[in-house]
Amino acid sequence: MICQQCHMREAAIHFTEVSNGHQQEIHLCEKCAKERGDLFMLSDHETFSMNDLLAGLLNFDSAFKEAEKSFQQAPLHCPHCKMTYKQFAKVGRFGCAHCYQAFQQKLTPFLKRLQGGNSLHRGKIPQRAGENIQLKKELENLKAKLKQYVEAEEFEEAVKLRDKIRELNRQLDQKRGES
């Protein structure tokens, strides 16, 4: 098969690119793959860099260039360690724990793409703590709904939720007492 970019050399690299649900097969020769940056392992670097792999998977470079074009403002940075988003994209690691919050808006699309559309962890719950965790989650959801009902002045619904919340709190207290 011939390279899709130069149409001269034999394609040595074959990969499938999926973007926004659209699947496209790409066939490139080694030279064109190096030039495009799609195959960093064929470059002259002797070591395999996990940062390069993650940056390639998350496609930081193109996303950063698009963001720069769309709005010209001060670069996004972490208020605690002063790391910029551009530095993060180059290094592939955060400077501190606060970087997650500082870069959250830019990270969410990458995390969703990496996690198959999810940006929240929804893993297994240990059996021992499972019931309590489920009750706590249900309480959080009900409290959020209660707040919405109060803000919308739907007091009848708010009273029903308040009673439900009290009952769940009693159940949770009982389970804690049994432990």
pLDDT of residue 53: 56
88 vs 64: CA distance, rounded Å: 11
Q: How many domains does the chain have?
A: 1
Q: Residue 169: pLDDT above 70? A: yes
61 vs 33: CA distance, rounded Å: 16
Note whether residue 51 is domain-resident. Answer: no
Note whether residue 173 is domain-resident. Answer: yes
pTM of the model: 0.33
Residue 114 near residue 93, CB atoms below 8 Å: no
Nearest to 94 by CA among 80, 108, 111: 80
Note whether residue 147 is domain-resident. Answer: yes
Note whether residue 20 is domain-resident. Answer: no
pLDDT tens digit sequence for 78-91? 898 988 888 887 88
Note whether residue 86 is domain-resident. Answer: no
Note whether residue 94 is domain-resident. Answer: no
Q: Which domain holds residue 133?
A: 127-178
Note whether residue 75 is domain-resident. Answer: no
- Please write down the long-range contacts of 12-19, taking CB distance under 8 Å and 24 or more positions apart: 13/38, 13/39, 13/42
What tokens were used for 64? 């950063």
Note whether residue 61 is domain-resident. Answer: no
Residue 71 near residue 48, CB atoms below 8 Å: no
pLDDT tens digit sequence for 56-65? 555 555 555 5
pLDDT higher at 172 or 49: 172
pLDDT higher at 31 or 144: 144
Confidence of residue 40 (pLDDT cuts 50, 70, 90): very low
pLDDT higher at 51 or 85: 85
pLDDT higher at 116 or 165: 165
